[in-house]
């Protein structure tokens, strides 16, 4: 069973070594095509002008900040249910990437909002729930950093990730409610007119490129985390080996 074969970190590292160059190449190629289409072949919007091109960065990042949390939730189930040794490595290394994509979605969104809505920040339902998501990512990262033992930290973070996954739809629903209660739809909405195919294709290519970028970064971060844990284990072993030696060495002169 492939799933269990890759529980062995060495085998996983070997797979990463084979897979990574191909993925990087594919990712770069897709980005080249996607960026070319976004900047040169995609038409200007008749209303929004050139600022529509922000969409090709903004929408894929927003989509990835959700996908990244999904990956983390699945990994957390892997940690808690099967105690898969790579699952908490996967969840831990996905969190900063997710936070980065969430941050990027917020920044590009507010840069897009300034010319379109006339303000950098609008307490729009979607922006607000993405902001809450960012706080959750950062809280999870803080939880990982404060705990010394990676196994315990992984389990604690897995519990929190799953509670967050349960709560995210509730948060989304309540923020939508709150938004409709406080401000009627005064904001220009993107989802009003259906998107034209000349804009849809670059968007899809960019979404694919971002997804590939996520997998490249995720695999790299997982590899680094496995190596980091090995270094930690080697250091601890070295410390435990050297301690009796120094103890006996310091004991000898005393005799």
Q: Per rule CB under 8 A, is residue 119 in the interface with another protein? A: no
Q: What is the DSSP letter of 39?
A: I
Q: Per rule CB under 8 A, is residue 208 in the interface with another protein? A: no
Q: Per rule CB under 8 A, is residue 239 in the interface with another protein? A: no
Which part of the chain contacts another protein (CB under 8 A), choosing from 5-13, 111-119, 133-141, 231-239? 133-141
Site map (CB under 8 A) of another protein, residues 168-187, x = contact: --xx-xxx-xx--x------
Q: Per rule CB under 8 A, is residue 147 in the interface with another protein? A: yes
Question: Min. distance of Cβ 27 from another protein in angstroms?
Answer: 31
Q: Which of 81, 166, 231, 234 binds another protein (CB under 8 A)?
A: 166
Q: Per rule CB under 8 A, is residue 163 in the interface with another protein? A: yes
**C-alpha separations of 55 from 2, 19, 22, 34, 165 in Å:** 38, 30, 28, 12, 26
How far apart, in whole angstroms, are the C-alpha atoms of residue 158 and residue 133? 16
- Those residues whose C-beta lies under 8 Å from the C-beta of residue 207, and which sit 6 or more positions away, are 59, 60, 63
Q: Per rule CB under 8 A, is residue 123 in the interface with another protein? A: no
Q: Which of 9, 60, 164, 202 binds another protein (CB under 8 A)?
A: 164
How far apart, in whole angstroms, are the C-alpha atoms of residue 127 and residue 159? 26
Q: 209, 31 in Cβ contact below 8 A? A: yes
Q: How many residues make contact with another protein (CB under 8 A)?
A: 28
Q: Which of 13, 138, 190, 220 binds another protein (CB under 8 A)?
A: 138
Q: Per rule CB under 8 A, is residue 155 in the interface with another protein? A: yes
Q: For residue 49, which phi and psi values (nearest 5 degrees)?
A: 65, -140
Q: For residue 134, which phi and psi values (nearest 5 degrees)?
A: -60, -40
Alpha carbon of residue 162 to chain centroid: 15
CA Rg, the chain, in Å? Answer: 23
**Applying CB under 8 A, which residues contact another protein?**
80, 132, 135-136, 138-139, 142-143, 146-147, 152, 155-156, 159-160, 162-164, 166-167, 170-171, 173-175, 177-178, 181
């Amino acid at each position: 069973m492939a799933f269990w074969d890759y529980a062995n970190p060495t085998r996983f590292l070997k797979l990463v070594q084979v897979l990574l160059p191909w993925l990087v190449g594919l990712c770069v190629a897709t980005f080249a095509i996607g960026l070319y289409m976004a900047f040169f072949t995609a038409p200007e919007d008749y209303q929004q002008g050139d600022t529509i091109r922000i969409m090709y960065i903004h929408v894929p990042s927003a989509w990835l900040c959700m996908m990244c949390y999904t990956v983390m939730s699945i990994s957390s189930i892997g940690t808690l249910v099967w105690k898969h040794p790579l699952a908490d490595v996967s969840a831990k290394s996905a969190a900063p990437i997710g936070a980065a994509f969430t941050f990027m979605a917020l920044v590009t969104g507010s840069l897009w909002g300034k010319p379109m809505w006339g303000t950098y920040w609008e307490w729009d339902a979607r922006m607000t729930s993405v902001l809450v998501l960012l706080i959750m990512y950062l809280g999870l990262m803080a939880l990982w950093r404060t705990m010394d033992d990676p196994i315990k930290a992984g389990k604690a973070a897995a519990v929190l990730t799953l509670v967050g996954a349960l709560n995210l739809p509730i948060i989304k629903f309540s923020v939508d409610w709150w938004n409709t209660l406080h401000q009627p739809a005064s904001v220009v909405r993107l989802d009003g007119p259906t998107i034209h195919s000349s804009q849809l294709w670059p968007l899809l290519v960019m979404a694919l490129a971002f997804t590939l970028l996520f997998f490249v970064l995720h695999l790299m971060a997982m590899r680094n985390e496995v190596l980091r844990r090995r270094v930690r284990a080697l250091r601890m072993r070295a410390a435990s080996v050297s301690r009796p030696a120094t103890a006996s060495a310091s004991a000898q002169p005393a005799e």
